[in-house]
A and B are shown apart, each in its own frame.
Chain A
Amino acid sequence: MNAIAEKPFQEIMPKAILAKLGNLNGDTIHILVATDLDAHLRYGVQWVVVTDRQVVVVPEQGDNGQIIVPIEEVKSVKVEERVGSGTLEIERKTGATVSVPYSRTMMSKFAEVADAIRQLSEDEALELPTQLEETHCHTCGKRLPEKNGVCAACLKKWETFRRIVSYMAAYPVKMVVTILLTLVSALLTLLPPKVTQYVIDGVLGSDFALVVIPFIETTDRVERLGLLISALVVVRVAIWGIEVATQWLGRSLGLRAIGDLREDLYRAFQLLPVRFYDKRKVGALVSRMTNDTDRMEGLMVYDFYFIFSNIMMFVGILGLLFWTSWELTLYVLAPIPLIIFAGTKIWYRIMGFWTRWSGKWSRLYAQLNESIHGIRVVKAFAQEEREGKRFDEHNEALMDVSVGGERLWFAFFTVTNFFMSFGVFFVWYIGGRQILNDELSLGELMAFLSYLWMLYQPLRWFGDFYSFILRAFASAQRVFEVVDGEPEPFDNPNAVRKERIDGDLKFENVYFGYDPGKPVLKGVDLDVKAGEMIGLVGKSGTGKSTLINLICRFYDPDRGQVLVDGVPMNDLALNDLRSQIGMVHQQPFLFDGTIADNIAYGNPSATFDDVIRAALAAEAHEFIVKKPDGYDMRVGERGNRLSGGEKQRISIARAILHDPRILILDEATSSLDTPTEKKIQAAIARLVEGRTTFAIAHRLSTLRSADRLVVIDEGKVAEEGSHEELMERQGIFYRLVKTQQESTAVVGVGAIEGDAAEDS
């Protein structure tokens, strides 16, 4: 259904449809794409063909029903976003509008198709993107969970295991030694039953003299006993010693490896683009850092070596069993194929439980995170009880899943254990008869029984481990999903380095939307000179903050480009760009540390003198020194021990010390009382000097110092000019000012009103 074309917009059309289409009068076909919904909104296909002279819509089912719209008949074309679908709407100069539905999967494709038809109908040169974002896996053709992302279906269990091991393989010597020691210890564990066999047959048995004991020549019973028991003691001590060494080495190795993994995960969190965080809950992400790595820690620190030792034990014991009596061994092993069969059947169900278990944990975390962050709101609305209930629900769901998983496992395990232990009865009966017939010695039977019990040990362990490794794997999948996320292009070797940018910024026909087919910016053109202060004005939701997001390169434009000093932003080294952008927000985020730390955040090498100078310039010094601990005061999480105005001034000081070339003031002075605002205004006036500045403010009076005001409306630059010019123009800006004047609560608009009166 989702045809993957070699080239975008030239999908492979079935021959039957091609035939139906005819030769289209020999037109050049620019676009040949399929939808995934038919005209009746059922899953099916319609083909949209765009040539230089016409647009043809062909349903895949049925004989005809083609709709042909000559390009010159196109009045307008757009994509309409609906709930769960979208449509390509071609309005004709005469006649009904053609509406082609498709699912949300095809949004971005048809946004381009619509634009291409528009270009053709407006006689513009046709410009189609040569590359679309990858949405399907190259190998298996499945939809990728994230555009340009990793195909989850192609990642294998073995691959997960290999990747976990690769973290340990970073310490090869330790790893190899630990594994070798584990193997030796496993082999030594196999010795005691054999020694016991010799004790029974070669010391205690009536035919002891006939029994040959390796390495022991004497036939004296007491001497033999002494030597054999000494051997048992030596083996036990050796095993103990090796185990201590293995644990010593293994734990440090595992902990280091998991430390590296945590580091990678944290780094990934830092380097992932802002887009990654758009639709995820903080608590759920934190859970990957805590819970999921914890699970993996268990595997890497404690269980990893047991895999080797238990495999070794299992194989060794099996060999010894066969060697002692192959007949008896076959009886014992009879139920094993059945167990393996049941095991594979149950694998996915248990795996499912543990995936869900992780998911439930995330939800619990997310809720915890939310209710603790919002604790003031919870209390103010007296909703503690309800939040408690919500928590209980999540907690219970988690418990249910855990209990379900454990029960399933327990049931499986006890049943198999029960059948396996039946083997012992066979062994006693058949082995006993073999002894009576002199085919087997008592010592051999005892050794056989000991080995049999020992065989259950790795089996039981694999049982427990199996469930555990499944949990660890499910966790690993979630962790690697983050680690594998496409990071921002910080280390692009071809990037243009610019240690000092001037601050010229140019938007060239920039289109951008957070969701495909839903543009927020629709062709922004803006030229800003270095050192200029721009006030961004517009109703909320018109794209002001989006523009800022593009300046910071938190997102890349869908079309068009942003130039910094004449260099396309995408070619500029990201680090160079970001390190020269400073931001002052309405709700500044401070880190838990001292005031001085926070001021020096963007410039850690700053001296204390610098910090004080920045604080002075930001009008913050005065209030800081009044605090008992002055600059050494800890501000608390998110700076919650400071007032809003204090935080704001510290964030201005932080920006001053950071010394950016491009400065962004996002509602930097709103929600402050007038005296505080005056102080901050003064501080900001100092800050903007000589820097390219973008200021967003709802209170239009705060933009009076701007060199130029830019009014954004409907995703475009609607008006541009000084505040006087815009007032004269009586356009959007004028109306915004008027609206503010009407609302008496707004402080400072009187000034503008005065200006307006003077102007007129």
Chain B
Amino acid sequence: MTTDILEMDKMEETKKETKWKPTPIETVHPEHVDAGKVRLFKDPDWVLRMTIEGDRSYLLVKVVRAAPLTQPDRYFCILDIKDEAICMLEDLDQLEKNSHPFVFEEMERRYLTAEIESIESLQNEYGVSYWNVETNRGTREFVAKSVAEHAQWLGERRLMIFDVDGNRFEVTDIDKLDKRSQGLLESVL
């Protein structure tokens, strides 16, 4: 009996000692590319190309965000002409400065989201909402279905609304909208 208890005590001790360590995750693809060696440039003016210094060149590349909604400023993936991943830049700082404008330009081209600045009118009929909004891209009317179900929350007060065609409208901070717009927005959420 006593030995049992002693053994159990021992086991307890060893349990405390062994700290759980996560198993390292090994990856093989895409191969690691030193982001410092990546150069983006255009040649001719409408074709984005890439060179990994001292290694190889790509005649046409695409830059995409890995998580455009939650990590818009980090994790940029560079894809080749077949949409296969060449490498990923976790942080833009890793990339040499001259290439930065090309990344920004690509982001501007590829991702079109309008930021809602105020809601002029919002009507809700049969679960379908009719919006008239002022955005950073100008005035726009759009129609969305069951916003409460389909909108995506990106934070406590940050919200992405998709219209029936899949156009994207973002409210970066509900609290920053004027009171009237807030009231209208709350009425559909």
A residues apposed to B, CB below 8 Å: 1, 37, 41-44, 82-85, 96-97, 99, 101, 103-105, 107, 142-146, 152-153, 155, 281, 284, 348-349, 351-352, 355-356, 358-360, 362-363, 366, 474, 477-478, 480-481, 515
Q: B44 touching A477 by the CB < 8 A rule?
A: no
Most A CB within 10 A of own CB, among B140, B165, B167 = B165
Asked if A363 contacts B148 (CB within 8 A), the reply is yes
Q: A42-B137, A96-B45, A284-B149 are in contact. Are A103 and B165 (CB under 8 A)?
A: yes
Q: Find chain B residues with CB under 8 A from A84 CB.
A: 111-113, 166-168
Residue pair B110, A83 in contact (C-beta under 8 Å) = yes
Within 8 A of A (CB), among B169-189: 187-189
Q: Which 10 A-B pairs have the closest CB atoms?
A: A359-B148, A477-B126, A43-B138, A84-B112, A352-B187, A152-B128, A85-B112, A152-B126, A143-B143, A84-B168
Cβ-defined contact, A153 with B168, below 8 A: no
Nearest neighbor of A352 in chain B, beta-carbon distance = B187
The answer to whether B99 has its CB under 8 Å from any CB of chain A is: no
Chain B residues within an 8 Å CB radius of A480: 126
Question: What residues of chain A lie closer than 8 Å to B20, measured between beta carbons?
Answer: none
A521–B68 CA distance with the chains assembled, in angstroms: 28
Q: Which one, A43, A146, A474, contacts B140 given CB within 8 A?
A: A43
Neighbouring A residues of B166 by C-beta, 8 Å: 84, 104, 515
Q: Contact between A363 and B149 (Cβ–Cβ < 8 Å)?
A: yes
Which B residues lie within 8 Å of A349 (CB)? Answer: 187
Q: Which of B103-152 contact A (CB under 8 A)?
A: 108-114, 123-128, 130, 135, 137-143, 145-146, 148-149
A146 contacts across to B, CB distance below 8 A: 164
Decide: A97 near B46, CB < 8 A? Known: A42-B138, A82-B112, A355-B188: yes
For B47, give the chain A residue with the smallest CB separation: A97
B125-A153 in contact (CB<8A): yes
Chain B residues near A359 (CB-CB < 8 A): 127, 146, 148-149
CA A37 – CA B113 in complex, angstroms?
12
Is B149 within 8 A of A83, CB to CB?
no
Q: Looking across the interface, which residue of chain A has its beta carbon closest to that of B124?
A: A355
List 10 other contacts, CB 8 Å, given A42-B138, A82-B112, A153-B128.
A37-B112, A84-B167, A96-B44, A104-B166, A145-B145, A152-B125, A358-B127, A359-B146, A363-B148, A478-B126
Distance between Cα atoms of A288 and B144 in the complex (Å): 19
A83 partner, pick from B111, B114, B139, B143, beta carbons under 8 A: B111
Once the chains are docked, how many angstroms separate the CA of A351 from the CA of B139?
27
From A41, A360, A474, give the contact of B137 (CB < 8 A): A41
Q: What are 11 residue pairs bridging A and B, where the CB atoms are less than 8 Å apart in the complex?
A: A43-B139, A105-B167, A143-B141, A144-B143, A152-B126, A355-B124, A356-B189, A359-B149, A366-B149, A481-B126, A481-B127
Chain A proximity of B118: nearest CB distance (Å)? 15
Which residues from A are CB-within-8-Å of B126? 152, 155, 477-478, 480-481
Using known A-B contacts A84-B111, A152-B128, determine if residue A43 contacts B135 with beta carbons closer than 8 Å: yes
Contact between A478 and B189 (Cβ–Cβ < 8 Å)? Answer: no
| Cα distance A44–B141 in the bound complex, in angstroms | 12
Q: With the chains together, A99 CA to B165 CA distance in Å?
A: 21
What residues of chain B lie closer than 8 Å to A356, measured between beta carbons? 148, 187-189
Are B148 and A83 in contact, CB atoms less than 8 angstroms apart?
A: no
Contact A104 B165 (CB under 8 A): yes
| Chain B, interface residues (CB within 8 Å), range | 35 or more
Which one, B108, B130, B163, contacts A153 given CB within 8 A? B130
Q: How far is the CA of A145 from the CA of B127 in the complex (A)?
A: 10
CB within 8 Å for A478 and B127 given contacts A84-B168, A96-B45, A143-B164: yes
Q: A104-B166, A145-B128, A284-B149 are in contact. Are A352 and B188 (CB under 8 A)?
A: yes
How far, in whole Å, are A103 and B166 apart by their CA atoms in the complex?
Answer: 9
Residue picked from B44, B141, B166, most chain A C-beta under 10 Å: B166
Chain B residues within 8 Å of A103, by CB: 112, 165, 167
Q: Name which residue of chain B comes closest to A2, CB basis.
A: B141
Q: List B contacts of A104 (CB < 8 A).
A: 165-167
Output the least CB separation between B45 and chain A (Å).
6
CB of A145 within 8 A of CB of B143, answer yes
Q: Are A41 and B108 in contact (CB under 8 A)?
A: yes
A84 to B114, CA, bound (A): 9
Residue with the highest number of chain A CB atoms closer than 10 Å, among B108, B109, B142, B188: B109
Measured CB to CB, the closest approach of chain B to A520, in angstroms, equals 15
Given A1-B141, A41-B108, A359-B148, A153–B123 Cβ distance below 8 Å? yes
Q: Is the CB of A360 within 8 A of B148?
A: yes
- What is the chain B residue whose CB lies nearest that of A516? B165
Closest to B150 in A: A279
Q: Which residue of B lies closest to A82 (CB)?
A: B110
Is B44's CB under 8 angstroms from A83's CB? no
A43 contacts B137, C-beta separation under 8 Å: yes
**What distance in Å separates the Cβ of B34 from its nearest Cβ neighbour in chain A?**
28
Indicate if the CB atoms of B112 and A44 lie closer than 8 Å: no
Give the shortest distance, in Å, between A508 (CB) and chain B (any CB): 29
> Which of B44, B111, B124, B139 has the largest number of chain A CB atoms within 10 A?
B124
Collect the chain A residues with CB atoms within 8 Å of residue B163's CB.
105
Given contacts A82-B110, A96-B45, A360-B148, contact A105 B165 (CB under 8 A): yes
Write the nearest CB–CB distance from B154 to chain A, whole angstroms.
14
Once bound together, how far apart are the Cα atoms of A40 and B119, in whole Å?
23
Considering the complex, which residues of chain B in the window 87-110 have a beta carbon less than 8 Å from any beta carbon of chain A?
108-110
Task: Take A145-B145, A352-B187 as given contacts and tell me if A82 and B111 are in contact as well, using a CB distance cutoff of 8 Å.
Answer: yes
Complexed CA–CA distance, A356 and B148 (Å) = 7
Q: Which residues of A contact B140 (CB under 8 A)?
A: 43
Chain B residue nearest to A155 (CB atoms) is B126
When the two chains form their complex, are residues A142 and B143 in contact, meaning their CB atoms are under 8 A apart? yes
Residues of B within 8 A of A1 (CB): 141
- Chain A residue numbers with a CB within 8 Å of B110 are 82-83
Q: Which residues of B contact A85 (CB under 8 A)?
A: 112, 167
Closest Cβ of chain A to B135, distance in Å, is: 7
Q: What distance in Å separates the Cβ of B70 from its nearest Cβ neighbour in chain A?
A: 14
